[in-house]
Copies of this chain bind each other. A is one copy, B any other.
Amino acid sequence: MLDFVGLGLFDEKDISLKGLERIHNADKVYVEFYTSILMGTDLEKMEDLYQKKITVLSREDVEQHAEEWIADAKDMNVVFLTGGDTMVSTTHVDLRLRALDMGIETSLVHGASIASAICGLSGLQNYRFGKAATVPHPYVTSRGSRVISETPYDTIKMNMENGLHTAVFLDIDKDKGYMTVNEALEILLEVEGKRGEGVMKDRISV
């Protein structure tokens, strides 16, 4: 059995009682921090509270070498921890599909996610959010040109036209780190400079 457990939003105490039970019954426990990180805790605090050894997996371990560690789930209880709710990131859906292909049973234990917590944190209404967007780090191609994704700009524009808010996720990169709000705004303003469609005009107020 491969259990996917969402850790919630901030620290080691945001896990559900159900999630904690799964960890206690687990033979092996893994965690990844490349799709999101719990700002209020670290691996040591998690291991102390959960009373279990936890192995941290890199993006490569999850996306390219998953078969190596999920194979144990054929006859052991393996738990895979992630920040927020599980299955919001497509990389986790992909992992679940690969487990099913290998004949491994899976289960989900949901956790609090920014997708719903954003209402309480911002005071904005759930019903007024449209499609979400992610601002990825710009990258430089092998030919040396800098590429910025215009997708988040398009998404914000579409939502604005429909009178809706946009939840904007910030990219996490192994080398470039956790994108800050300011970096994301600079990237969006750079797209605004190129496109000039007024999406960012008078919009920056927190």
Contacts and interface: CB of A to CB of B under 8 A. Distances in A.
Max chain B CB contacts within 10 Å: which of A15, A17, A93? A17
Secondary structure at the A interface, as helix, strand, loop or mixed, is: mixed
Interface in A83-129: 84-90, 93, 108, 110-113, 115-117, 119-121, 123, 125-129
Contacts of A125: 90, 93
A21 interface: yes
Q: How many copies does the complex hold?
A: 2
Nearest to A86: B120
A13 interface: yes
Contacts of A93: 119-120, 123, 125
Interface of A: 4, 6, 8-9, 11-18, 20-21, 49, 84-90, 93, 108, 110-113, 115-117, 119-121, 123, 125-134, 158, 162, 164
A164 to B, nearest CB: 6
A120 B110 contact: yes
Contacts of A133: 127
16 contacts: A8-B110, A9-B110, A13-B18, A14-B18, A16-B16, A16-B17, A17-B20, A85-B117, A87-B120, A110-B112, A112-B112, A115-B115, A115-B116, A116-B116, A130-B130, A131-B162
Given A17-B17, A116-B113, A129 B131 contact: yes
Contacts of A115: 113, 115-116, 126
Given A88-B119, A131-B127, A112 B162 contact: no
A131 B21 CA distance: 35
A163 B127 CA distance: 18
